[in-house]
Amino acid sequence: MPFYPVLPCKSCPQPIWLPFPSPDEAIRRQIPWPRDWKPRSFVCPLCRRVYEYSAEDCQWRHIGSPDQILPSKPLAIYRLSVPCDKERCAGLIHIHAVMTEGLPRHAVVGALSQAYVMNISCERGHRSSGSWRGDGPIDVRQDTEWDS
């Protein structure tokens, strides 16, 4: 299957791979995105910048040769959630990391070490930028909204 869905990182050449599509999705080039079509924040595995991406950012990238940096294991989208730090806000900030399936929690949390968030939004719309604080309770789960 020569085409794979990616989010091109907004600050470096690294593509953020999305989980491999089913053959059916690949044929139809169906954009893998949760049904509400709202933006989601993703961390880049290379530069660690976190940006918001929308479904329109998703591209199908052609992979020419097998030795090109294709991930070798099935991928999963993990969602890391922390409370918004704006005053009295009850919303959460969600950041998504695409990593291989079945990782332990600490490995997933490690995706955000040295991360830098770029104007991402909490559930209530507060915007944050700056170094990832990495403190406080982090909820980690595999994000099932991406299963269609």
- Measured from the CB atom, the residue of 6 and 140 that comes closer to Zn ion is 6
The helix or strand, by DSSP H or E, that contains position 105, with its residue range, turns out to be: helix 105-109
State in angstroms the smallest separation of the CB of 91 from Zn ion: 4
Q: What pairs with residue 55 in β-bridges?
A: none
Q: How far apart are CA 22 and CA 83, in angstroms?
A: 34
Q: How far apart are CA 28 and CA 31, in angstroms?
A: 9
- Measured from the CB atom, the residue of 139 and 147 that comes closer to Zn ion is 139
Amino acid at 89: C
Residues that bind Zn ion (CB under 5 A): 9, 12, 14, 44, 46-47, 84, 86, 89, 91, 122, 124, 126
- Measured from the CB atom, the residue of 89 and 107 that comes closer to Zn ion is 89
State in angstroms the smallest separation of the CB of 30 from Zn ion: 25
State in angstroms the smallest separation of the CB of 75 from Zn ion: 17
Identify the three-state secondary structure at position 60. Answer: strand
- Measured from the CB atom, the residue of 25 and 91 that comes closer to Zn ion is 91
Q: How far apart are CA 29 and CA 63, in angstroms?
A: 15
User: What are phi and psi for residue 3, nearest 5 degrees?
Assistant: -115, 135
